[in-house]
Amino acid sequence: MFNDTADEDLMVMYQKGEVRAFEVLLTRHRKPVYNFILRFVGDKETAEDLLQEAFMRVIKGAEAYKRQAKFTTWLYTIARNLCVDQTRRRKHRKHASLDAPMDAGEESGTLMDVIPGSEMASDRKSVNKQLHEQMQRAIAALSEDQREVFLMREFLDMPFKQIADVVGVPENTVKSRMRYALEKLRLELDEYKDLAKAAPG
């Protein structure tokens, strides 16, 4: 019924009391928002909590939503702010994370590399999985500013202008951060070539 309706129209319908409109919005955006948060914070449990919190904030703030604003801009601004708060809290607590680098240097290994994992150590069956993990680590190694821009641009296909609106910086700054993020990732993923060569078949 509402499958072809624009997000903004669905939000307006929800403001008028149409719950079904919100359900469509939830179905449409839950997965991409979850993956954005997951790649930002790198932790599934935290990502689930933040996803829940993000949509709760959408519900609470639904009355204040204006039709002129793009719904995805609003939604990802909420999600991004939650992620930034979360990473700041994490830094403050200085809890050891399995995915976090052990030393201050970005090129050091992580705890995940040291702990003998049954999956990774046992057979290394799936080179693809290893590659994915490598990429996830490379993304996590990006600075917060670069990571958010990179995730929105590459995984959500957002235009630079919209990213600038979400992040709250000029568009040129967004482009600059994106360029640095790509350079860094290419350096980090140099190993990818070796792994790809080592992969069976």
Distance CA 102, CA 39 (A): 19
Beta strands in 13-123 (DSSP E): none
User: How far, rounded to the nearest angstrom, does the alpha carbon of residue 69 sit from its chain's CA centroid?
Assistant: 22
Distance CA 7, CA 26 (A): 10
Which CB, 67 or 132, lies closer to other proteins? 132
The contact mask relative to other proteins for 91-120 (x = CB under 8 A, - = no) is: ------------------------------
Please, are residues 69 and 82 in contact by the beta-carbon 8 Å criterion? no
31 touches other proteins (CB under 8 A): yes
Task: Tell me how far, at minimum, the Cβ of 92 lies from other proteins, in Å.
Answer: 26
15 touches other proteins (CB under 8 A): yes
Single residue of 1, 3, 4, 60 touching other proteins by CB under 8 A: 60
201 touches other proteins (CB under 8 A): no
Which CB, 33 or 166, lies closer to other proteins? 33
Q: Which of residues 69-88 bind other proteins (CB under 8 A)?
A: none
Distance CA 151, CA 33 (A): 11
Q: Which of residues 157-186 bind other proteins (CB under 8 A)?
A: 185
* CB atoms closer than 10 angstroms to residue 1: 7
52 touches other proteins (CB under 8 A): yes
Distance CA 45, CA 20 (A): 28
63 touches other proteins (CB under 8 A): yes
Distance CA 73, CA 81 (A): 12
Which CB, 16 or 93, lies closer to other proteins? 16
41 touches other proteins (CB under 8 A): no
Handedness of CA 163, 165, 166, 171 (dihedral sign): positive
Single residue of 11, 24, 34, 158 touching other proteins by CB under 8 A: 34
Nearest CA-CA partner of 99 in 154, 46, 57? 46
Residues making contact with other proteins (CB under 8 A): 14-19, 22-23, 26, 30-32, 34-35, 38, 44, 48, 51-52, 55-56, 59-60, 62-63, 128, 131-132, 135-136, 138-139, 154-155, 185, 189, 192
